[in-house]
Amino acid sequence: MKTRARLPRLVACGATLTLALSLSACGDGNGGASADDGKIHVLVYGDASNKVEKRIVDTFNKTSDVKVVLDTIPGADYQQKLQTIINTPQAPDVFFNWGGGSIKPFVKAGLLMPLDDFIKKNPDLENKFLPSVFNNAVVDGKPYGVPMRGTQPVLLFHNKAVLAKAGVQPPKTWDELLDAVKKLKDEGVTPIALGGGDVWPTQMWFQYLYDRIAGPELFAKAVGGDKSAWESADSKKALDMIRELVDTGAFGKNYDSVKYTNGGSVQLVAGNKAGFELMGSWYYSQQLTDHKEFAEKDLGYGTFPTVEGGKGDPANIAGNTNNYYSVMKKTKHPEAVAEFLKLMYSDEFVKAQLEIGNLPTTTNTDEFIETAGNADYSRFQYDLVADAPSFQLSWDQAYPQKASSDMHKAIQQFFNGQLDTDGFIKAMQALPTE
């Protein structure tokens, strides 16, 4: 009996051990700059784009006496960690951010260096960038950031095959979209895929409809502290249109259980189960990675439909304008930092960004755009951004970071019917604006 019992136990122990070993995840954090060591510490969000940042730093270090050290904080924790170190001796000299509300509290706390002096000495630091993008890092009339990655406007993507089967053309106007929704529903597919579980994809619908109906002024007023903007007739009209769209079943019934971040909504479109998805321009490379054949053959893209009678310019866009480098006031090497920032509009920078699929927002991007992986797509985006009278920064980034959680709650609750129009307006008015 003893020997018979031993074998299973041995197997059991072995299996347990193997599992335990294979499951132990490894993380290597190299975030966090050290205090002054005669170098410039540049802190960036850790992801695939880091190879370009690394290359630019290497280029800079070849000629400069003051060396730059690149520190990264991996992914999702970036903003939290930045907030905890920024007012300590461990703070970097230069750091990555999203412009807008993501730096406003730092400006208010007097931590950031306005860049006007740099620009006075070298006007190219402003002139070489598309204005609609550069302006998103201007706080209280002063520039605080230099664009340092690619622009990511939100576009309305579609599945060509699904649309063709339902006899639908990519919609140019809101009414055409409503019509398309109806036809797609009759076909038995989800008209619009939405990763409501992440909430920020839901927010994209709010951003665009508010801009189309009221123009960028309404939101600018609200984020500037005039909370009456949310009660205006235009605001209510936008909310009514969202309500109508949701209630017609445009997003199906289970959108709040779907996520973009785990590939759920991406697969809905690629698997011919949905017609549209509103998403940032990174969607193309996401589909290319996840569903190569679909991305090359059937993935279509276009701008957000126009709304008849709306005050917003139909050429306006919304999304992530770009990421920015901001400079800390306490840096001991301002001249070297100014030199480093110059590289953000160099030819090498533009080519390197295009190579990895990012679309830089410098004026010289135009010359190199044909070298991009998908030149048509890059050209479409670049023209869109260059011609846009206004580029609405994503709401959760335009507001101070501390408002984003409550904003997401309100957006999700209005969308799924837990909050009515008045409830949503009240919730938005309760958000802190500085």
Partner 1 sequence: MTTKITSARPAAGPRKGSRRRPPASSATTVGRPGFAWALPAAVFFALFAIVPLIMVAVLSFMSWDGLSSPEFVGTDNWSRLMDDPVMLTSIWLTLLLTVLGVALQTPLSILLGVWAAGHQRNRAVLSVIYFIPLLLSATAVSVLWRALLDPNFGIPAEASWLFGDGNLFGEQATAIGVLAFVSTWQFTPFHTLIYQGAARAIPQVLYQAAEIDGAGRYRQFFHITLPQLRNSMITSMILMIVGGLTTFETVLILTQGGPGTDTTISAYYMYDKAFKSFDYGTGSAIALVLVVAATIISLIVVRVSGYDKMRSSMEGVS
- Write out the residues near partner 1 by the rule CB under 8 A: 2, 5, 8-9, 11-12, 15-16, 19-20, 23, 25, 80, 83-84, 86-87, 105-106, 109, 111, 196-197, 199, 252-259, 262, 264, 267-268, 271, 273, 401-406, 409, 412-413, 416, 418-419
- For partner 1, the closer of residues 9 and 62 by Cβ is 9
CA-closest candidate to residue 180, choices 236, 250, 239, 125? 250
Taking the complex as a whole, the smallest distance from the CB of residue 102 to partner 1 amounts, in Å, to 12
Q: Which is nearer to partner 1, 199 or 388 (CB)?
A: 199
Least distance CB 190 / partner 1 (angstroms): 8
Alpha-carbon distance 100 to 311, whole Å? Answer: 23
Question: Looking at beta carbons only, is 274 or 336 nearer to partner 1?
Answer: 274
Q: Which residues contact 232 (CB under 8 A, 6 or more apart)?
A: 214, 218
Output the smallest distance, CB 99 to partner 1, in A.
18
Nearer to partner 1, 227 or 237 (CB): 227
Distance CA 115, CA 239 (A): 39
Q: How far is the CB of 405 from partner 1 (least distance, A)?
A: 4
Q: Strand pairing of 68-74 and 391-393?
A: unpaired
Q: In the complex, what is the shortest distance from the CB of residue 177 to partner 1, in angstroms, rounded to a whole number?
A: 22
Within 10 Å of residue 206's Cβ, how many Cβ atoms?
22
CA distance 172 to 304: 8
Beta carbon of residue 253, minimum distance to partner 1 (angstroms, whole number): 4
How far apart are CB 74 and partner 1 at their closest, in Å?
Answer: 14
Separation of alpha carbons 131 and 390, rounded Å: 9
Going by DSSP bridges, is the β-strand pair 274-280/190-193 parallel, antiparallel, or unpaired? Answer: parallel
Q: Which CB atom, from 106 or from 129, has the smaller least distance to partner 1?
A: 106
Tokens 């985006």 — which residue?
A: 381
C-beta closer to partner 1: residue 59 or 272:
272
Query: Are the C-beta atoms of 316 and 207 separated by less than 8 Å?
Result: no
Nearer to partner 1, 27 or 309 (CB): 27
- 271 vs 334 by CB, closer to partner 1: 271
User: Among the residues of 255-364, which ranges form H helices?
Assistant: 264-270, 283-290, 292-297, 334-342, 347-355
DSSP β-ladder status, 274-280 and 152-159: antiparallel
**What Å distances lie between residue 55 and 34, 58, 143, 351, CA to CA?**
22, 5, 26, 12
Amino acid at 11: V
Report in angstroms how near the CB of residue 343 gets to partner 1 at its nearest. Answer: 29
